[in-house]
Amino acid sequence: MDEQRGSAYKHVKAVLKIQLIDAQALGFPAGQQAFYLEQALADQAAQPYRQRVLVLERTGTGTATLWDYRITDPKDLVGADAAALRSLTKERLSRQDGCEVTWVRADRELYKGSAGAGRSCHTTLRNATFVISYSDLTPQTLTSLDEGFDDTGAHRWGPPPGVIGHIFRKQTEPAH
């Protein structure tokens, strides 16, 4: 149940675009990788509801941390055009501490990730105050579950318990 509206949860189709960008050009240390992420409703791909820069850092054997950076005024990046992404500067990024994803290798082709433990990932979306995220990553899929809760722990948005969340399947761009 969506507490905000008092109605049953409605699954929506979403698309996720992830593009490798030059981490060192943005001032991140050598060895880290950076990605531009754009997420939108499938029928509104040109109007993303989430745009981020994600920076991947190996933090141990079989573990990695994915740092989440918000982008100031990201409208010029919609569509992940290579030239627009090259114009991105570190000054436009602000790290969202507490929202980083910790990835742990679960087996040869599976990493399991989570963020927001201890109510550390703050939000104001639809009367929630914190977000908890879970994800699974394989060479072909990313499964993502984000849920928002208020200070009392009441579920405010996202799939209810028992629902998997979004499953994004890897697609390659057609040759031009």
Residues 80-97 have pLDDT tens digits of: 888 899 999 999 999 999
- Please say if the pLDDT value at position 76 is more than 90: yes
Domain span at 58:
12-96
- Please say if the pLDDT value at position 108 is more than 60: yes
Condensed to tens digits (0 to 9), the pLDDT of residues 17-75 reads: 999 999 999 999 988 999 999 999 999 999 999 999 999 998 888 899 999 999 999 99
Q: Return all residues near 76 (Cβ < 8 A) that are at least 6 apart.
A: 84, 87
The rounded Cα 19 to chain-centroid distance in angstroms is 13
Nearest to 37 by CA among 91, 74, 83, 92: 74
Same domain, 92 and 131: no
Residue 124 lies in a domain: yes
Q: What is the greatest pairwise CA distance in the chain?
A: 52
> What is the number of structural domains in the chain?
2
pLDDT at 47: 95
pLDDT at 8: 61
Same domain, 53 and 80: yes
Same domain, 22 and 77: yes
Residue 52 lies in a domain: yes
